[in-house]
Structure 1
Amino acid sequence: MGVVSHSYLTKAQVQHLLGVTTFGMWRLARKYDKFPKPAKSPDNPLHHNRPEPEEAWDATKVYSWAAGTAELAHRGAILLRPAPENPAPGRWGGYQDTVRGPALDWHTDIGVIRLVHCDDSRAATDVATAIASSGNKDGVVTVCALYGDVGFGGPALVAADTAHPGIEYEAGWDDVTAYVGEALPWWPDLLRSSRLIREWKPGAQAAVAEIPANDNETFLRRAAANEVFDVTSRVAATDMANKIRNIRIDHTSHEIQDFCNKGHGDTPNRVIPGALPDTSRHPLPCDGDRKELKAGWRRLALHTHPDAVAALEVAVGREPDLLPFGAVTEIPVQPGTVSDRWTHRLTMCDPTAAHAVLAQDTKPQAFFIDPLTDMPVLRTPGGDGNQVWRFYAPLSLPAGGAELASVVLHHTLWVLTSNGYVHPAPCTPTKHLWWGDGWGDRASEAASVVDQLLNDLGATVDLHKHWDAPKGLTALFNEEHKQGAELTRAALLHARMTPPRTR
C-alpha cells in the first residue's frame, strides 16, 4: 500500500519554492498562523557527533499550505489549489507505460494528469521524476498513484507534480474527476494488469477476467495434477487450491463494491470498475470431509516428491490443523537429559516432505522419525552453532492402557508414562508449551495439556479454550521451575484440585 513519502526542505529551498526572500519568509510566518513551522528531519547516522543541522521544513506541509493560501496558491500543490470555475471537460489521452507500471493520461484545463495504477510507495514521485528528467514531452503537470485505500470521492491518491517531483501529497479522486469531467476507471488489486488497463477505452463495459493464480494456488494445483500422488492426496490439494481461488474472487468482488459503489450521502463516487472477476464457476467446491482431507495431507507429508514439499509448505501456513503434527519445537542436544532418553529410540530415515518443511532454512545433519508417534525429527546446527533437535510435537500420545506418571520440564514439557516411555508433550500447531513468568501471561497451555492427559493419556489435545485450565495447575506451571524439574502425578493432581492462594 502506498504512503505519502516525506522529504525536507532547507530554509533556502522553502524560499525558492514559495518565491520569497528571507524577509518575505519572515513576513509569511507572522502573517499566517498556520505557516508550517520547522520540523525535525529524520536522524542520519552519519551526522552523529556533528553540529546541530540547520532547520528543515516538511516539504509536503509547505507545498500543501501554499496551495490553500490565496497569495501563494500558484506556488502550491496543483491538485490542492482552488479549481477554476466550470473547467472544460477533459479528454482521454490513452495508455502509458511508466517506470512504476501502467497509467492512463487525461488532457485537462490544467494540463495532462497521469494516473498510475500502482499503490507501491513512491510510485508518484518516481514517475514524475522520470517525466521531468526526460523533458516532459507529453505536458504532464501532475502524476497520481493509488494510495491503496478508499478516500473521499473514490480511491485515495498520492500526487507528485512534475515541477516538484520529490514532493508528494494526498489528493482526492474527486479532485481529478473535477478536471476530467467524468467517472474514471479503477482496477482491483488482483486484476490490475497492464493488459487489462491497456485495453480499456472510455465508455467500454468492464472486462470480465479470470483472477490469476498466486504462488500458493499454483503449487497446490501442480500437486493435484501430479499422478504420482494417490487420489486422496490430490483431492486434499485441490480442496485447498479451490478455497484460495474462492477467497481471492470474493475479496476482489468486495473490493469493487467498496471502491466503486459507495459514496458520501446521495452522491456516488465517480469511479467505475475497469474489470470484474470471472465468477462463472464460482464458488469452486471446497471444505470437504475433514477426515478425508487429513488423510490426504498425511500421505503427502510422508512423500518425497518436490511437489509434496511445496504443497505442504502452503498447508502449514494456511491450515495447519489439517496436518498430522503439532507445534515446531527445538531443544539443545544434551546427553543425560530426559530428551536424551527420547532420542535414543528415534529411527534414522530418508527425509520426507514433512522433514523438508520442518527444516526450513536450517542445514540438517540427519533425519529421524519417532516410531511411536510417527513425528519427523531432525538434528541440525542451532542459531548459536550448537546442535539442536528440531521436531514437530505430536497431537496425541500412544496410551496402550498406561497413564501419565510425571512431567519433566526441559525446554518443553516431557511426559513420562506408567509403562516406561518418555514423549514430548502433545501440542496443537499454533501454540507452545512453556512455564514460568510470562510477563503477565499465564502458562495455561501447559496446564491445559496436562489436565487433559491426566484424564486420558491418549487424548488428542484441544487448546481452543486453554485459559479455562484448572487455576491450580496454571499457577503451578507459572512458577519458575529449573530445567529438568520433575512434577509427579500426585503433585499434578493435587495442584489441579487446589485453588491458588490469593495474594
Structure 2
Amino acid sequence: MGVSSSYLSKAEVQRLLGVNAFGLWRLVRKYDNFPQPTEPPHDPFAALRDKKEPEEVWDGTQVSRWAAETPEFSHRGAVLVRPLPENPAPGRWAGYKDTVRGPALDWQTALGVIRIVHSDDRQVATDVASALAGSGNPDGVTTVCALYGDMGFHGPALVAADTAHPGIEYEASWGNVAALAGHDLPWWPDLLRLPQLIRQWQPGAPAAVAEVPPNENEKTLRRAARNNTFDTAARAAVTDMANSIRNNRIDHTAHDNEIFGREGYGERPNPVVIGAVPDTTRHPLPCDGDRQALKDGWHKLALSSHPDAVAALEVAVGRDPDLLPFGTVTEVPVQPGAISERWARRLTMCDPTAAHAVLAHGDTAEAFFIDPLTDMPVLRTPGDGGKPAWRFYAPLSLPDGGAELASVVLHHTVWATTSDGHVHPAPCTPTEHLWWGDGWGDRPSEAATVVDALLDDLGATINLREHWNAPKGLTKLFNEEHQHGAELTRSTLLHARMTPPRTR
C-alpha cells in the first residue's frame, strides 16, 4: 500500500533527463524548484565495507514528477503526470491479463497501453513494470497502475510505474486514467478481488454476485465445529465466532463498495464501476449468543488436548480473549527465594492441554502444571539465555474462602498474599498488564485498580475498563520505583488509598 521509495544517483538523474553533468548543473541553477538531493537510504552493512562519503541521491518520484510538470522535460517525466493530450482518441478495453502480482485489465489509450493491476500491496506497480521491461514488454504496456488502497478525489487512488523507468513509482489520478480509457473503470472490493471475477468482467457487465471467501480463522473454527470430539457447547462456541467473522467480512465488503462506489467530490460522479457485490443470501448468520454459554464452551475447549482445540483457541485469543477463562500472559524468572517460589510449591504437574499449547506459543516447555487453587495453566520454559522462567495466565479472580488481602509483593508482576497464608499472581484481564514504577508519563492505574478491588473483596472479578479512575493515592504508590521483591502491607495499601496525593 502506498508509493514505494526510489533513489537515483547523479548518473541516473542525468539518464532520466537526457542531460550530461554540465546540463544537470545548468538545470539546478535555471530551475528553483528542481528537487534537492536527499540523504541516501540507511545501509545497515555500510560499517562492514570501506567507509566512503555517501553519494548524493535524489528521490526518484520527485525528479520524475518535476520532469513531467516542466515543459522542457515533460516527455521524459512520469507518463500519467504529464499534461493530457487535447481531445485524445477514445480508448478501449483490451482484456484481462495475469501478472506476477495478480490480476490486471489492459486499456488501450492515446498514451499507449495502461495496465491496471487490482492489488493494493506494496511495490506492485514496480514489480509488474519491471517484469514487462525484463521480458521485452511484448504487450506494449506504457504504464502499470496498482491500487493505493485509499480514496482519491475522482475515484480510488492509484500508484503508477512506467515501463521506461519501472523502479520509480508515483501517484496517479483514477479520473485521468478513466478519461484516457474512455470508460468508467471497474473496481473490486478487497475480499472479492479474485482472478476469476476480474477475468470474467467486460464493459457493461453487471456487478457479479459472489460469495466472500472464508479466511484462515474462519476455516479453523469451522473445522473445529465439525469435530465430534467436542461437545455441543464447545462446537456452538466456535460456530458463533466463525459466524461473527463471516458476518464482519460481508459487512466490510459491502461497506467498501459504498465508499468506493459513491459519488465524488465534484459535479460528476466518480468514474467507478463496482465489479462485484457480496452474496448476502444467508446474511447475517446467528452470532453473539449468550456470553456465559459461550465462555463455558471455550473453557471446555481449553481443557481439550485435540489439535483443533489448540487452533481454535489461538483464533479466540486474538479475536475475543474475554471469552476465555484466563487473564493476561505473564512471565517471571525462576528464582530461589522469590515470592514466585512460594506459589510454585503448590503447582501440580499435568499433561498439557490446549490452553498450555497456546500459552507456549511455539516455544519449548520443560514441564506443564496447573494451579490447583485458580485452575490457571502454567509452564516452565528454558527462558532466554538459559535462564528458566515461569509462564502462566493471570487468574481473572482469586478464591477468597473468607480470607482478605494481606499484602502485595512486587516481583516482575504484582503478587497477592492472603490472610490464610496463600500466594497468588494478582488477577488481571486478558488485554492489560500489571506493573509499577515511572511509566514515562503513563501511570500504573491497572495495578491500583486491582488492589483497590481486592482490599474490599478478595474474590472480586476484576474490571479494568476504566482503570484510569483508580484511587489517586494507590496510583501514586505504584508509580514509585519499588525494588523487585518489595512488599506493601495491607495497612500501607489502605493508607495510600485514603490519602490522595497533594497538589502543588
Same-fold status (TM-score > 0.5)? yes
1:155 counterpart residue number: 156
2:309 counterpart residue number: 308
- C-alpha deviation, 1:120, in angstroms: 1.6
1:173 counterpart residue number: 174
Amino acid at match of 1:20: V
Q: 1:484 to 1:6 in 2, by over 3 A?
A: closer
Give yes or no for contact 2:37–2:58 (8 Å, CA) kept in 1.
Answer: yes
SS in 2 for 1:233: helix
1:387-466 correspondence runs (5 A)? 387-466=388-467
Between 450-459 and 400-409, the greater mean CA deviation after superposition: 400-409
For residues 121-171 of structure 1, the C-alpha deviation after alignment (integer angstroms, 9 at most, x for no partner) is 221111111112212221111111111111121111111111111221111
* TM-score with structure 1 setting the length: 0.97
Amino acid at match of 1:353: A
Q: 1:499 to 1:8 in 2, by over 3 A?
A: closer
Amino acid at match of 2:372: P
Distance 2:42 2:453 in 1: 54
Distance 1:337 1:54 in 2: 56
Amino acid at match of 1:478: N
Distance 1:413 1:38 in 2: 53
For residues 105-130 of structure 1, the C-alpha deviation after alignment (integer angstroms, 9 at most, x for no partner) is 11112211111111122211111111
1:61-140 correspondence runs (5 A)? 61-140=62-141
- C-alpha deviation, 1:46, in angstroms: 4.6
Distance 1:105 1:211 in 2: 25
1:291 counterpart residue number: 292
Distance 1:54 1:339 in 2: 56
Identical pairs, percent: 72
1:31 counterpart residue number: 30
- C-alpha deviation, 1:5, in angstroms: 2.0
- C-alpha deviation, 1:301, in angstroms: 0.6
2:11 counterpart residue number: 12
Give yes or no for contact 1:253–1:276 (8 Å, CA) kept in 2.
Answer: yes
Distance 2:113 2:377 in 1: 62
Amino acid at match of 1:259: F
Between 278-287 and 293-302, the greater mean CA deviation after superposition: 278-287
For residues 260-300 of structure 1, the C-alpha deviation after alignment (integer angstroms, 9 at most, x for no partner) is 21301222110111111111111111111111111111111
Q: 1:9 to 1:338 in 2, by over 3 A?
A: closer
Amino acid at match of 1:89: P
Q: CA RMSD in A?
A: 1.5
Q: 1:438 to 1:9 in 2, by over 3 A?
A: closer
1:490 counterpart residue number: 491
SS in 2 for 1:185: strand
For residues 366-405 of structure 1, the C-alpha deviation after alignment (integer angstroms, 9 at most, x for no partner) is 1111111111011111123211111101101111111112
2:343 counterpart residue number: 342
1:245 counterpart residue number: 246
Give yes or no for contact 1:327–1:392 (8 Å, CA) kept in 2.
Answer: yes
For residues 6-55 of structure 1, the C-alpha deviation after alignment (integer angstroms, 9 at most, x for no partner) is 22223333222222333433333333221222222213345455332343
How many residues are paired up? Answer: 502
Amino acid at match of 2:417: L
Distance 1:8 1:415 in 2: 57
Amino acid at match of 1:443: P
Amino acid at match of 1:253: A
Distance 1:141 1:124 in 2: 12
User: Are 1:371 and 2:372 matched, yes or no?
Assistant: yes
Give yes or no for contact 1:362–1:381 (8 Å, CA) kept in 2.
Answer: no
Distance 1:333 1:47 in 2: 41
1:179-258 correspondence runs (5 A)? 179-258=180-259
Between 169-178 and 476-485, the greater mean CA deviation after superposition: 476-485
Distance 1:365 1:114 in 2: 56
* TM-score with structure 2 setting the length: 0.96
SS in 2 for 1:482: coil
Amino acid at match of 1:37: Q
Distance 2:310 2:335 in 1: 30
Q: 1:255 to 1:55 in 2, by over 3 A?
A: same
Between 67-76 and 35-44, the greater mean CA deviation after superposition: 35-44
For residues 160-195 of structure 1, the C-alpha deviation after alignment (integer angstroms, 9 at most, x for no partner) is 111111221111111211111110111111111111
Distance 1:46 1:317 in 2: 36
